[in-house]
Amino acid sequence: MATVTSSAAVPVVPKELLREPLVTNNRTPGWISDRVASLIEGRTPAWWWVAFIPSVLLAALLLGMLAYQISTGVGVWGNHHPTMWAWDIINFVWWIGIGHAGTLISAILFLLRQKWRTAVNRSAEAMTIFAVMCAGIYPAVHVGRVWFDWFLFPIPNSNAIWPQFRSPLMWDVFAVSTYFTVSLLFWYVGLIPDLAVMRDRAKTKIRQFLYGLFSLGWTGSNRHWSNYEKAYLILAGLSTPLVLSVHSIVSLDFAVSQLPGWHTTIFPPYFVAGAIFSGFGMVLTLLIPLRRWCHLEDIITMRHIDVMCKVTLATGSIVGYAYGMEFFIAWYSGSPYERFAFINRALGPYWWGYWIMIACNVVFPQLFWFKKIRHNLWIVFILSILVNIGMWFERFVIIVISLHREFLPSNWAYFKPSWVDIATYLGTFGLFFTLFLLFMRFLPMIAISEVKGVTPHADPHMPEGGAKGGHH
């Protein structure tokens, strides 16, 4: 046993150069398994029921609203001429934007070797999948006759006609369905070793069977890990262009049209930055309470919260730049319609929506420049909710404000949502939180094997006791 021989050879690192370790209090791999698995194996905490019951009721409300809308028609929504897209598409874009942080954390940060991602990637990926589910409901039902949704896919039919692939709406079908499928697979592949952890700890027959079945007989063989890590790297490499393309294609739904306010080339990068911004907002909203309620402070540390605040600040500033650039281009283009569309955004009848967006997305996130703010969890939590509100209003501004005053003043109207719009939107929160709470109760919400891999105990060249506590 030569576990301590190397410590003499390690050069002493000055204290100010040491990074805060990714897992604090020098927790061992065994502790990590026990801590994360206890969330599943222990008694259901009271707060879980307090959150779960209203979520299920809201999810039931969603089902009721969808049944009402499908059986009656899209007229139950507030959409009317000229605002033919409203809350349905706002909420679609909003939810799918939230879904972007999960893949960013799991794929892009993996390629950039940001090891802190391991503590948050599992729950962020779950958030992605559930957010994309909520998003997917809207385009499916907004067509009115949901029983014809399969027309969207190139399936041979008795009419002998095919979808028209020059439309960005068709691109969207492929982008969103691919995004959902690949995110789900990525999440599942990451789960396989952790399902094996749960299988090996399981005390009841049903748990042994189900975790055993879904872990596919994973043994932790290094020959398997070798192929597994390669597959994970490739999936990360594939998901990176995927996540950038999905919101780009969503933005093309708007940018390819001729409408002032939509017809801009800045949309793809601006939508992607906004999506990541809102996704990190939602990750912070979910994880700040969860790390406390689940006692995960040693795994999701203040350093994690701090870096996520910085990502939010960076993407929020990109979004702010895009808002400014849109205005500049509207003026610089010389097109009176473009100029009108943008002046109408800021000073028209929906001025309040525009200024809520600016305040929540551009002004408040600037507070993240200050370390004191980033380390005050209450303020971070409130700011993360403001980010979500701001990003909802961004889509409101783009969709409703651009549509409500067309080229001819005879085509002007003031859009108001109906109660069905509002109840459906609230219902999607019910679905989202129901799925998320079930996930965190039955599946390991922290990537156990990945977090173990970033502890100093996992480094074969620096056995326990090594000074390299906070390796990057």
Partner 1 sequence: MSVSTTTYGILAEFTTPADAMRAAEKVRDAGFRRWDVFTPFPVHGMDKAMGLKNSRVGWFSFIGGVTGYTTGMLMIWFLNAVDYPILIGGKPLFSPFGAFPPSYELTILLGAFGAIGGMLFLNRLPRLHHPLLKHRRFALASHDRFFVVIETADPKFNEVEIRKLLEAAGSRRIELVEE
Question: 404: closest CA among 417, 420, 388?
Answer: 417
Of 11 and 460, which has the nearer Cβ to partner 1? Answer: 460
Angle, alpha carbons 200-202-205 (nearest 5°): 120
Of 236 and 357, which has the nearer Cβ to partner 1? Answer: 236
Of 288 and 454, which has the nearer Cβ to partner 1? Answer: 454
Query: What's the closest the beta carbon of residue 230 comes to partner 1, in angstroms?
Result: 4
Query: What's the closest the beta carbon of residue 449 comes to partner 1, in angstroms?
Result: 4
Local structure of 195: helix, strand or coil: helix
Query: What's the closest the beta carbon of residue 1 comes to partner 1, in angstroms?
Result: 6
Local structure of 412: helix, strand or coil: strand
Angle between helices 205-214 and 168-201 (to 10 degrees): 130
Local structure of 296: helix, strand or coil: coil
Q: Which residues pair with 412 in a beta bridge?
A: 405
Query: What's the closest the beta carbon of residue 149 comes to partner 1, in angstroms?
Result: 17
Query: What's the closest the beta carbon of residue 178 comes to partner 1, in angstroms?
Result: 4
Query: What's the closest the beta carbon of residue 391 comes to partner 1, in angstroms?
Result: 24
Residue 140 to residue 134: CA distance in whole angstroms: 11
Of 267 and 277, which has the nearer Cβ to partner 1? Answer: 267
Of 234 and 426, which has the nearer Cβ to partner 1? Answer: 234
Of 372 and 461, which has the nearer Cβ to partner 1? Answer: 461
Angle, alpha carbons 52-55-61 (nearest 5°): 145
Of 118 and 312, which has the nearer Cβ to partner 1? Answer: 118
Query: What's the closest the beta carbon of residue 269 comes to partner 1, in angstroms?
Result: 16
Of 71 and 222, which has the nearer Cβ to partner 1? Answer: 222
Of 165 and 332, which has the nearer Cβ to partner 1? Answer: 165
- 105-112: long-range contacts at Cβ-Cβ below 8 A with a sequence spacing of 24 or more? 105/283, 106/186, 106/187, 106/190, 106/236, 106/239, 107/186, 107/235, 107/236, 107/237, 107/239, 107/240, 107/242, 107/243, 108/236, 108/240, 108/243, 110/232, 110/233, 110/236, 111/236, 111/237, 111/240
Is residue 127 within 8 A of residue 290, CB to CB? The reply is no
Query: What's the closest the beta carbon of residue 102 comes to partner 1, in angstroms?
Result: 15
Q: Token pair for residue 8?
A: 């003499």
Query: What's the closest the beta carbon of residue 152 comes to partner 1, in angstroms?
Result: 12
DSSP H stretches of helix in 256-376? 267-293, 302-333, 336-347, 351-358, 371-374
Is residue 451 within 8 A of residue 33, CB to CB? The reply is no
Is residue 130 within 8 A of residue 170, CB to CB? The reply is no
Query: What's the closest the beta carbon of residue 162 comes to partner 1, in angstroms?
Result: 4
Is residue 383 within 8 A of residue 69, CB to CB? The reply is no
Residue 272 identity (one-letter amino acid): V
Of 384 and 449, which has the nearer Cβ to partner 1? Answer: 449
